[in-house]
Amino acid sequence: MKYLFYPGCSMQRNAKSYLDSLLALQDKIGAEFIELDDWNCCGATEYSSVNRTASHALVGRNLAIAQDMSNGTNTLMAACSACYLNLQKTDHYMGEDGLFDERINDALAAGDLHYDAGSLDVRHALDVIFNDVGLENIKKQVVKPLKGLKVAAYYGCMIVRPDVNNKYGNPEYPNILEELLSALGAEVVDFPMKTHCCSGHMTQISGETAYELIRRLAYGATQYDADMLVTLCPMCQLNIDAYQAETNRFFNTDYEVPILYFTQLMGLAFGIDAKDLGIGKEFVDPRPALAKIGVEVEEEAPVPRRSKKKDEGLPMPKMPGNAGGEN
């Protein structure tokens, strides 16, 4: 199956491991992801705070490019939840609101582009993998079941809400990620916070607001005894991974909840090398959890440091009676 693929800015860098792991699955799941030509940013949650028409015209350019490329497939797939939602919303509102559609196409015409609302089916990578590939085919590819690994499925917000095309059925308590992770052999723990907010961009705006939301998720995962959270969104991964230390400092806590992408766990179960799945770039080390399923991850080559001065320093006087020397 062929799919048009919109990677989005996050997956180029901070969530590169999500991109690498997703692309590494292609052969195993019989899918081909065709990257959109010269795509631009989706505007995240920022552009629509500044100019509504421009924010949707920005997305409209990507939709128009995708429509032009849609030879043999009309599925436009995104793996980042914010990208997915923005593509979906622009398409949806253009279909619902004629005047809005006119405005967006008027703007697109300035760049010799046009988009026909409804001509693409905007889907998230999880939806494509769960519904098109299917659990039976996924199970066939599993060579290293994730037996003994306790995972909490974490969806975040934008994949299931507002879900304008009602693809997920339940905006607060979806279940397909759990089913997928179970099919990989993992033990899925209950996690009532599965669609709670990771704080989005609030880490940049109000630390107090953000850290509380991150704390709740780390607390929830710990309470339910999860070895790790499994996500499908670069923003969720970044907030919980990179800001967990800051959250711990803020609340004087010591949470250590690693968070990986579902595509990385699929890759591991399919026997793909951890390195090819981008594992090893996390702030909260997932290796202790991965050791439970016999996955060893080479440590990233440490940044060369100047040798510590201690080696060349003057000998320190020893306390009398401390015959053992150091300590």
- Which residues, 252 to 291, sit near another protein by CB under 8 A? 281-283
Distance CA 225, CA 236 (A): 20
User: Can you tell me the distance from the alpha carbon of 97 to that of 242, in angstroms, rounded to the nearest whole number?
Assistant: 40
Q: Where are the beta strands (DSSP E) in 87-156?
A: 121-124, 150-153
Segment 47 to 76, residues that bind another protein, using CB under 8 A: 47-54, 56-58, 60-61
CB of 135 to another protein, least distance (A): 27
Please, is 260 exposed, middle or buried when counting C-beta atoms within 10 Å of its C-beta (0-12, 13-18, 19+)?
buried
In eight-state DSSP terms, residue 320 is: T
Q: Which of 26, 40, 165, 223 binds another protein (CB under 8 A)?
A: 40
35 touching another protein, by CB under 8 A: no
Rounded distance, CA 119 to CA 234, Å? 27
Residue range at the interface with another protein (CB under 8 A); choices 10-18, 133-141, 177-185, 291-299: 10-18
d(C-alpha 256, C-alpha 240), whole Å: 10
Computed over its alpha carbons, how large is the radius of gyration of the chain? 23
Q: Is 297 in the site for another protein (CB under 8 A)?
A: no
In one letter, which amino acid is 181?
L
Q: Which pair of tokens denotes residue 310?
A: 């201690």
> Contacts with another protein in 132-191 (CB under 8 A)?
157-158, 161-163, 171-172
Smallest gap from Cβ 251 to another protein, in A, equals 15
Euclidean distance between CA atoms 279 and 272, whole angstroms = 11
- Give min distance, CB of 167 to another protein, in A: 13
32 scored as a contact of another protein (CB under 8 A) = no
CB of 121: closest distance to another protein in angstroms?
A: 19
Q: Of 180 and 238, which has the nearer Cβ to another protein?
A: 238
Residue with smaller CB distance to another protein, 163 or 187: 163
User: Are 114 and 66 within 8 A, CB to CB?
Assistant: no
User: Least separation, in Å, of the C-beta of 208 and another protein?
Assistant: 7
Residue among 183 and 282 whose Cβ is closer to another protein? 282
Q: Cβ(174)–Cβ(130) under 8 Å?
A: no
Q: Which of 84, 81, 70 is nearest to 36 (CA)?
A: 70
Identity of the residue, 145 or 171, whose beta carbon is nearer to another protein in the bound complex: 171
- Does 298 bind another protein (CB under 8 A)? Our answer is no
Shortest reach from residue 30's CB to another protein, in Å: 30
Q: Is the dihedral of CA 287, 288, 292, 294 positive or negative?
A: positive
Q: How many helices (H) does the chain have, and how many strands (E)?
A: 13, 8
Binder among 254, 300, 311, 326 for another protein (CB under 8 A): 300
What residues numbered 74-113 form the site for another protein, per CB under 8 A? 89, 92-93, 96-97, 100, 103-104, 106-113
Q: Which of 173, 178, 152, 175 is nearest to 161 (CA)?
A: 173
Q: Which stretch binds another protein (CB under 8 A): 132-140, 196-204, 262-270, 284-292?
A: 196-204
Q: Nearest distance from residue 293's CB to another protein, in Å? A: 23
Positions 215 through 244 that interact with another protein (CB under 8 A): 242-243
Q: Is residue 5 classed as helix, strand or coil in its secondary structure?
A: strand
* Total residues interacting with another protein, rule: CB under 8 A: 74
